């Protein structure tokens, strides 16, 4: 299993929308030790994590790729490395900033990829049902 990382973020976003799939964006910087820890066996390379992203469009963005890539992750409010963004087919997204242990990352990814019901969305917003 592997991620099939892409760096053509606009095409990846379009494909994810067109196919109704989640988009996973991992923002890193090679000299950053936490980015490398996230990419290694501790988190993202672990088989149980890789399996969570076999049905997503996966984009890796390195801070060194240039200003257009920094602007791309900036639209999600991301300014720190490492950061992970999971964008739902409806355009909503969730962010995990910084290094987190594998179990917490699995919780984040599972939560971000779980479809929200209207009732669940209301309760998350603190809105009660009539």
**pLDDT tens column, 95-113:** 999 999 999 999 999 999 9
Give me the domain span that covers residue 50: 9-125
The two structure tokens encoding residue 97: 């900033």
Look-up of token digits 């996966």 = 58
Residue 52 CA to residue 98 CA, distance in Å, equals 19
Q: Is residue 112 in some structural domain?
A: yes
Q: Is residue 47 in some structural domain?
A: yes
Q: Is residue 1 in some structural domain?
A: no
The two structure tokens encoding residue 92: 């909503």
- pTM listed for this prediction: 0.84
For residues 70 and 64, is the Cβ–Cβ distance under 8 A?
A: no
Residue 1's pLDDT is 59
Q: Is residue 66 in some structural domain?
A: yes
Q: Is residue 64 in some structural domain?
A: yes
Residue 66 CA to residue 41 CA, distance in Å, equals 27
Phi, psi of 66 (to 5 degrees): 130, 170
| pLDDT tens digit sequence for 38-50 | 988 899 999 999 9
CATH of the domain at 45: 3.40.30.10
Number of structural domains found in the chain: 1
Q: Is residue 23 in some structural domain?
A: yes
Residue 16 CA to residue 19 CA, distance in Å, equals 5
Helix residue ranges per DSSP H, 20-79: 33-39, 47-50, 67-74
Residue 40's pLDDT is 87
CA-based radius of gyration for the chain: 15
Q: Is residue 130 in some structural domain?
A: no
Low-confidence spans in the chain with pLDDT less than 50: 118-130
Q: Is residue 2 in some structural domain?
A: no
């Amino acid at each position: 299993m592997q991620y099939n990382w892409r760096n053509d973020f606009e095409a990846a976003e379009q494909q994810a929308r067109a196919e109704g799939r989640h988009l996973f964006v991992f923002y890193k910087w090679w000299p950053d030790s936490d980015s490398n820890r996230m990419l290694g066996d501790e988190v993202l390379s672990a088989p149980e994590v890789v399996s969570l992203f076999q049905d997503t469009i996966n984009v890796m963005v390195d801070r060194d790729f240039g200003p257009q890539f920094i602007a791309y992750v900036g639209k999600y409010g991301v300014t720190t490395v490492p950061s992970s963004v999971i964008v739902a087919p409806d355009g909503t997204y969730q962010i995990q900033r910084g290094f987190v242990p594998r179990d917490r990352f699995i919780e984040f990814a599972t939560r971000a990829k779980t479809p929200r019901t209207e009732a669940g969305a209301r309760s998350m917003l603190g809105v009660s049902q009539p």
